[in-house]
Amino acid sequence: MEIKTVGVVGSGLMGSGIIETVARCGYNVVAREVNDEAVQGGRKRVQTSMGRGVERGKLSDAERQQAESRITWTTSLGDLSGADLVIEAIIENLDAKKDLFQELSRITRPDVIIASNTSSVSITELAAVTSRPDKVAGAHFFNPVPVMKLLELVRALQTSEETIAELRRFGEGLGKTVVVAQDTPGFIVNYLLVPYLLDAVRMVENGVASKEDIDAAIHLGLNHPMGPLTLLDFVGIDTTLYIADVMYEVFRDSKYAAPPLLRKMVAAGYMGRKSGRGFYDYSKS
């Protein structure tokens, strides 16, 4: 099947990045949000990101305009009925994703792959509620999507080899390096990343070192682009807590148990960059 039109459900931080990337690579995109306000927010994120790309010489103004012209915004899920591939990028909530996958399997053609951008939810459970479990897989992009070169595909128990092969071709066509993981909480990246991030929070909590010194040590000592606490703010404190809780629920391993400080920060509304405050203060930036 030739993929010409891609449906993307959700246009938040990740969804908008997927929409932009797919449109810039020549595909028609049908971007669906829950209401007009969310549509405007998603459109603004895409336009702002591509505007930065023009300023930095990553694409021309003509290319930006062409990419924007390929995107159709909608609040109706039914408008995705003609899509050749659908990528879900809504909130990390299993029940919400299950409801969506059931509806997507009803309104799209039987040969259409439905992929989830989830970083933690079980793809096997999502596949099980659809009428075509062999056509369901994980397609986990990384933020910022237009820049990050990795695409992590996740194979559910039901996912066919043909589905993985088609998604691999699609991902490589977007300029991504594609890796494949089995459906285990955290997949490859978060399986290794989350314990590291949680240990950094424990170091702050236990007064081992200041957040600035922890970040500087990792940035300069391991040549990471940013330290773990800056990364937590970038990813989202609430998102990390959710992923950690999902992983702990499955593995019951203490390395996935979220430190109390992480829960306190979420309760206080300190979600990281997106809220203006996390481990660092972004209110003036």
Which two tokens mark 244?
């950690």
Catalytic-residue membership of 76: no
| Calpha distance 208→229 (Å, rounded) | 14
Per-residue pLDDT in tens (0 to 9) along the chain, 285 residues: 789 999 999 999 999 999 999 999 999 999 999 999 999 999 999 999 999 999 999 999 999 999 999 999 999 999 999 999 999 999 988 999 999 999 999 999 999 999 999 988 999 999 999 999 999 999 999 999 999 999 999 999 999 999 999 999 999 999 999 999 999 989 999 999 999 999 999 999 999 999 999 999 999 999 999 999 999 999 999 999 999 999 999 999 999 999 999 999 999 999 999 999 999 999 987
pLDDT at 120: 86
Q: Please, which residues bridge with residue 85 across strands?
A: 6, 113
**Backbone φ, ψ for residue 93 (5° rounding):** -140, 120
> What is the pTM (predicted TM-score) of this model?
0.92
Phi-psi map region of 223: left, alpha, beta (phi>0 left; psi -120 to 50 alpha): left
Catalytic residue (one of 28, 122, 190, 275): 190
Catalytic residue (one of 28, 152, 166, 275): 152
Ordered DSSP codes for 117-165: --SSS-HHHHHHTSS-GGGEEEEEE-SSTTT--EEEEEE-TT--HHHHH
**Backbone φ, ψ for residue 137 (5° rounding):** -155, 170
Catalytic residue (one of 116, 119, 122, 275): 119
C-alpha torsion sign, points 172, 165, 33, 80: positive
Catalytic-residue membership of 119: yes
Residue 186 contacts residue 247 (beta carbons within 8 Å): yes
pLDDT at 284: 83
Domains along the sequence of the chain with CATH: 5-182 (3.40.50.720), 190-273 (1.10.1040.10)
Which two tokens mark 247?
């992983």
Burial of 107 (0-12, 13-18, 19+ CB in 10 A): middle
- Tell me: cis bond preceding 144? Omega within 30 of 0 counts: yes
Catalytic-residue membership of 190: yes
Catalytic residue (one of 49, 140, 166, 275): 140
β-pair type (85-88, 28-32) = unpaired
